[in-house]
Amino acid sequence: MSPKMGIQGDLGGLFIVYTSTPPFHSSLHLTHAYIHNSSMASQTHTLPPLPYAYDALEPVISKQIMELHHQKHHQTYINNLNAAISAQASAASSNNAPTLIALQQKLRFNGGGHINHSLFWNNLTPPGTPGNNIDSAPTLRKAIASRWGTQDTFVEAFNAELLNLQGSGWGWLVSKGGAKGQLDIVTTKDQDPVNGPNVPVFGVDMWEHAYYLQYLNNKADYVEGIRRIIHWAEAEKRYASGLESLLKL
């Protein structure tokens, strides 16, 4: 399976392409439209519900942060994405190339914000739930051991990479080249998504809005807390089978 995801270049069409055939396995489904090209904008993107209650990730992430992060921040990316898509359709219908070009960054930033946050909510789970146990990720655990030796060594490397990120961005465990690939730790700036064919196994939002109200400048404690609420069962699905259509058509 070789999924490709990202933000298309020429006319700013948001695209996710999967080059293999079903079956796919993933719990991630976005509620939105798939824009095949700039002339086909139809539906709008909507905020996907959280897979748990706003206070379910406490004490690691407070209810207040989750409410603001989901209802305000993620919603704003979606609103701006919808506006950019609408403007893109209008510009495309009038062959307005300068406007189409000017919309690229808005599409990339807000489309990436929608993708990244949708992945993030689903790769977290309340502490102590079954999917929170790494035993629910046997294939991934073996791959981590093969790459880093021990789980502790991996956590140390992952956390260090997150804490080295300058400015706003995301930290990811990725499977290179598609499902069941070599694992790697990468960061992306701002709201850039992980580009295909690499598969984002799980990601951590390192924007201040994700932690500052609770952790202030103590980023290390936030990162350590996230480690305790990883949804390993979801990570296993992404690693073993790739992502189903990330932007559900």
Contact positions vs Fe ion (CB under 5 A): 205, 207, 210
The minimum distance between CB 110 and Fe ion, in angstroms, equals 12
Residues 6+ apart with CB under 8 A from 164: 187
Q: How far apart are CA 241 and CA 235, in angstroms?
A: 10
**Residue pair 133/155 in contact by the 8 Å Cβ criterion:** no
Kindly report the length of the chain. Answer: 249
The minimum distance between CB 113 and Fe ion, in angstroms, equals 7
**Residue pair 1/23 in contact by the 8 Å Cβ criterion:** no
On whether 205 is known to bind a ligand per the annotation, the reply is yes
The minimum distance between CB 205 and Fe ion, in angstroms, equals 4
DSSP state of 114: H
**Residue pair 148/121 in contact by the 8 Å Cβ criterion:** no
Residue nearest to Fe ion (CB): 205
Written as one string, the DSSP assignment of 172-238 is EEEEETSTT-EEEEEEEETTPPPPTTSEEEEEEE-SGGGTHHHHTT-HHHHHHHHHTTB-HHHHHHH
Q: How far apart are CA 10 and CA 115, in angstroms?
A: 20
Measured from the CB atom, is 54 or 207 closer to Fe ion?
207
Measured from the CB atom, is 69 or 237 closer to Fe ion?
69
Q: How far apart are CA 123 and CA 194, in angstroms?
A: 15
Measured from the CB atom, is 114 or 141 closer to Fe ion?
114
Measured from the CB atom, is 203 or 242 closer to Fe ion?
203
- Identify the burial level of 226 via C-beta atoms within 10 angstroms of its C-beta, where 0-12 means exposed, 13-18 middle and 19 or more buried: buried
On whether 69 is known to bind a ligand per the annotation, the reply is yes
The minimum distance between CB 179 and Fe ion, in angstroms, equals 26
Measured from the CB atom, is 161 or 205 closer to Fe ion?
205
Measured from the CB atom, is 61 or 107 closer to Fe ion?
61
The minimum distance between CB 237 and Fe ion, in angstroms, equals 23
On whether 29 is known to bind a ligand per the annotation, the reply is no
On whether 135 is known to bind a ligand per the annotation, the reply is no
Pick from 22, 12, 11: which is nearest to 249 by CA? 22
The minimum distance between CB 74 and Fe ion, in angstroms, equals 7
Q: Which residues are annotated as a binding site for Mn(2+)?
A: 69, 117, 205, 209
